[in-house]
């Protein structure tokens, strides 16, 4: 490809539809070539967060430990955590509720570091009333967040509004 748009389209195609070997090679090559560009690394995180394979949550958790991921950087958080919660519905809405717990854990962590980003990340679980069979698991995480002793005003507003609405 001669431009980043085409490179990302090819990367997404291989990441989503290629074999495991093709995916691994493409992701490694992309990172090796673009690790010096923060925006491209964000795209690299985002693509991986959206891969719909069974191990998606584990992959996202591991990427959260990557040297280029910084929980204090809002763009990194949106690229990894936000992309997973908003663009990987099969894995975010796992039957065991692990996707919701993962998101609530990141929100709890961000509550003190960056309450504005934390409050925006709450959105996917505020729609708990729309999910039969999963809504209770989402509501549990909202209740857990609401019970935090040091809950920021930003997160408090979103969480309590969702719990009290309707």
Model pLDDT, residue 133: 86
CA 50 to chain centre: 8
Indicate the pTM of the whole model.
0.94
Per the model's pLDDT, the better-predicted residue between 143 and 132 turns out to be 143
Listing DSSP states for 21-37 in one string gives HHHHHHHHHHHHHHTT-
Per-residue pLDDT reduced to its tens digit, 17-63 = 999 999 999 999 999 999 999 999 999 999 999 999 999 999 999 99
């Amino acid at each position: 490809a001669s431009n980043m748009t085409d490179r990302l389209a090819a990367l997404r195609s291989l990441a989503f539809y290629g074999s495991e070997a093709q995916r691994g090679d493409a992701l490694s090559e992309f990172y090796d070539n673009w690790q010096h560009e923060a925006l491209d690394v964000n795209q690299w995180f985002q693509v991986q967060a959206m891969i719909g394979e069974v191990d998606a949550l584990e992959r996202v958790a591991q990427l959260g430990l990557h040297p280029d991921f910084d929980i204090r950087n809002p763009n990194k958080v949106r690229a990894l955590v936000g992309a997973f919660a908003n663009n990987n519905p099969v894995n975010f809405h796992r039957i065991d509720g692990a996707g919701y717990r993962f998101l609530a854990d990141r929100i709890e962590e961000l509550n003190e570091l960056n309450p504005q980003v934390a409050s925006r990340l709450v959105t996917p679980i505020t729609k708990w009333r729309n999910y039969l069979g999963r809504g209770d698991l989402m509501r549990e995480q909202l209740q857990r967040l609401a019970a935090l002793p040091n809950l920021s005003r930003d997160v408090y507003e979103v969480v309590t509004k969702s719990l009290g609405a309707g």
